[in-house]
Structure 1
């Protein structure tokens, strides 16, 4: 019974791998750390190089005739807008005897409503004294303008009420005259007419009294508004602390830089699609991760740990090369220097068995530029490899970076170990490498992962890749000795039924995606 590898891969692959994103962003900590540091320095520099201008502040208590306890701040917002008019600015400049234009002066101050009746005025100037004088002039101009508007409003209201009272008095005089003259006729109709005149006189008298009282109340309310509108906090200069401003700006810059750096790192990670986790690299290459080498570190205990890991890797590769009847190559992706060091250490481990020759196909002078050591391995280029004798043990070192001559890789070795730097190649390129090696008939023994994430706990083993894994070497050799050849299918344990192995991820890609990867 066979299984559908495409359906299995689609079901097991998540749409968005948060763990891979977190690991990739953490690996780009140099980027977001540098941006956070740049934001910190920029914030501190702004505070030092661009200090705030001298500033003065004053507070004005503003009384309104229509004040209500449930006011939502509409009146004080109106006062703020009135403060920012050319009329107030012109009056303040006139009291300062300044030739500055009101439009220019309006850019140097602002108002803010602290409560429903408290207005704060903030003014800047060339010096503390000038800023304080400007604040005082603005406060006085605003108070004078507010009082004048309240008085004008009260006078207009009082005048309108008095005019209405006077019109009522004229009408009352006419009614009294009509009552005094009486009606020449007698009878029920004349009596009803006199009653209506008396009722009208009573109504007019009441309304005249009411208008008089309202006019008096309008005039009485103005002194309360005038007395209630005053400067409650004298203008004073604001003292700026340079260390405090620098620390505040630096903290803001640090946070902004860190957020921007994390965002750039996250977006770059998603767009680049460069696998970092072991399971992703193994799945995209179709080969298991057989060893890891952490990046170099200046800490002594970590150097010892890296040295021990390198020795284990060399021993494992030497055992593989000795036990293989076919030549083995090392192919690097994003780590030419590490691959050259591994090749040299591998050659030193194989030296006791006889002369060792390294076929160098790496870009640059990682191997060819080194100074040869007495008794050390011989490094030759690919064109000189044909002149070597068959009695010498040799292995090739090449690259699978973009621009690789794929047809030349089989001359470096018919089997290969990939040396890949985590997070270097994109998923599409890893698919391309796996497909090209398969087309050339070069099985991948395993992957040596350079600079893995130290917090990665994923499994980099392909459990159904026995035909290429190191743990399947002995079984393949036994089958080859028995004449069975190399099989790409293994029997299921326990049931004894044949099972088709799961193909690597690149094998399930269609022609369109493969063309895209190429």
Structure 2
């Protein structure tokens, strides 16, 4: 039986509650909004305090001898890599007559391949004039280096072809010597050999002509590369707009801060495991949510709704206290101010009908230290609760926050209404509160949820017995009073099964 119940509860509980996570992250909007605002301010501050250095830009058209329409940009990537070498940097510094190290100079510029044949060079300097001079020196150094490499490659190819042609000419001279002045008719036996020599000579003449043509083409291609490689966009200073830079950096900082804030809020929600949905809070406490109140008064158009909700809650609690022969307590978790205000409203409602005593067990004795006003009930501290007569109408106000003296809660009331702020207590602590109250035979007749999520559409009512409904609980107590059933024993619905025994 235990195994089947455990398996059913495990199947009903989702492994990851996305709805609860979204609600919890939205409730922590102050965190991620603050981080987003901080990122915005940091981005703007960086743009103002560390403005972009003076910069210049130029564009170079680079012609390649091996250009192909289907080139994937390999040649341009090679040119960009060559631009970032000490060879080009050293030549540019020589033209600038600068003593700066090439390694240091390479950090101040970069090349970007815009197309397969268009190279952009971005350079920074101490001033606009210096940046422009650096850009021109780099562009000239790159063009000269590129042209020099292309010329060297063309000369090497033409020389290789000429050497091969010269070897063919030497072989042709030997063939001509073998042929001599003879003819195939003077010696019939040597006719076949003479014919092969004539064929070899014709082949050598053809190959020599081919090598001459290829060497000439190699030399002819170099002027095209030289003429095609040139500066097409003269070096010019780049104008930096401070408002634009501030807006850009601010937007980037805002996005990064927002993403970081959302990530921190999500991770914190998962790690802390603080229920925010009324469904989860009711399930963890084992009692239904009977009312909801905002944490603060809110905007003007919501104050009337809040006032109506408070009046309705006060009427419900007053009816519960009147119909119950046992003292009722209000126990807060994360909302002492809201609980004290609810207690004040309840005390005034009950005081209008007769004497009532409020036992203040809140941290700091918020009610006992408050100056009484006309119509307020009598307020005593928890130490004087034991001396009160059982005939007096009373209710207690206390706390179930960490550090609570659990045994003192019975002096406040033998049944309680929990006033819980959503997202304040962890699931483990809510379990602890429910278990401790059950061990003290203090039934929880309802939960007042403070600061609920306005978009929460979950059901906070438990439908497993009359004790989960406040009206049914009052009717049950009335029937027990009529029948004379003693109410000092622990009711069956208040018993929480021992986890260890249930596991055994």
Partner of 1:496: none
Partner of 1:510: 499
Shift of 1:422: 0.7
SS in 2 for 1:57: strand
Partner of 1:482: 483
CA pair 12-35 structure 1, distance change in 2 beyond 3 A: same
SS in 1 for 2:271: helix
Q: Residue 332 of structure 1 contacts residue 399 of structure 1 at CA under 8 Å; is this kept in 2? A: yes
Shift of 1:292: 1.3
CA pair 367-484 structure 1, distance change in 2 beyond 3 A: closer
- Aligned residue pair count: 501
Partner of 2:61: 61
Q: Residue 35 of structure 2 contacts residue 261 of structure 2 at CA under 8 Å; is this kept in 1? A: yes
CA pair 174-326 structure 1, distance change in 2 beyond 3 A: same
Return the alpha-carbon distance in structure 2 between the equivalents of residues 299 and 40 of structure 1. Answer: 28
Q: Residue 361 of structure 2 contacts residue 399 of structure 2 at CA under 8 Å; is this kept in 1? A: yes
Cα distance per residue 1:405-461 (max 9 Å; x no partner): 212211211111101001111111111111111111111110111111111122211
Return the alpha-carbon distance in structure 2 between the equivalents of residues 104 and 513 of structure 1. Answer: 74
Cα distance per residue 1:280-328 (max 9 Å; x no partner): 1111111111111112135222222212211211121111111100011
Shift of 1:483: 4.8
Q: Residue 296 of structure 1 contacts residue 306 of structure 1 at CA under 8 Å; is this kept in 2? A: no
Partner of 1:498: none
Q: Which runs of 5+ in 1 are unaligned?
A: 491-500
Q: Residue 47 of structure 1 contacts residue 249 of structure 1 at CA under 8 Å; is this kept in 2? A: yes
Partner of 2:156: 156
Partner of 1:330: 330
Q: Residue 44 of structure 1 contacts residue 246 of structure 1 at CA under 8 Å; is this kept in 2? A: yes
Alignment of 1:180 with 2:184, yes or no, is no
Shift of 1:469: 3.0
After TM superposition, list the pairs within 5 Å mapping 1:50-129 onto structure 2: 50-129=50-129
Shift of 1:128: 0.7
Return the alpha-carbon distance in structure 1 between the equivalents of residues 314 and 348 of structure 2. Answer: 9
Cα distance per residue 1:135-162 (max 9 Å; x no partner): 0111011111111111111111111111
Q: TM-score, normalised by structure 1?
A: 0.91
Alignment of 1:366 with 2:366, yes or no, is yes
Return the alpha-carbon distance in structure 1 between the equivalents of residues 30 and 498 of structure 2. Answer: 35
Partner of 2:280: 280
Q: TM-score, normalised by structure 2?
A: 0.93
Return the alpha-carbon distance in structure 1 between the equivalents of residues 8 and 183 of structure 2. Answer: 115
Shift of 1:386: 2.5
After TM superposition, list the pairs within 5 Å mapping 1:105-504 onto structure 2: 105-180=105-180, 182=182, 189-373=189-373, 376-472=376-472, 473-483=474-484
RMSD: 2.7
Return the alpha-carbon distance in structure 2 between the equivalents of residues 2 and 184 of structure 1. Answer: 116
SS in 2 for 1:387: coil
CA pair 192-325 structure 1, distance change in 2 beyond 3 A: same
Q: Residue 278 of structure 2 contacts residue 456 of structure 2 at CA under 8 Å; is this kept in 1? A: yes
Q: Residue 354 of structure 1 contacts residue 392 of structure 1 at CA under 8 Å; is this kept in 2? A: no
Shift of 1:341: 1.4
CA pair 143-243 structure 1, distance change in 2 beyond 3 A: same
Q: Which runs of 5+ in 2 are unaligned?
A: none
Q: Residue 323 of structure 2 contacts residue 478 of structure 2 at CA under 8 Å; is this kept in 1? A: no
Partner of 1:494: none
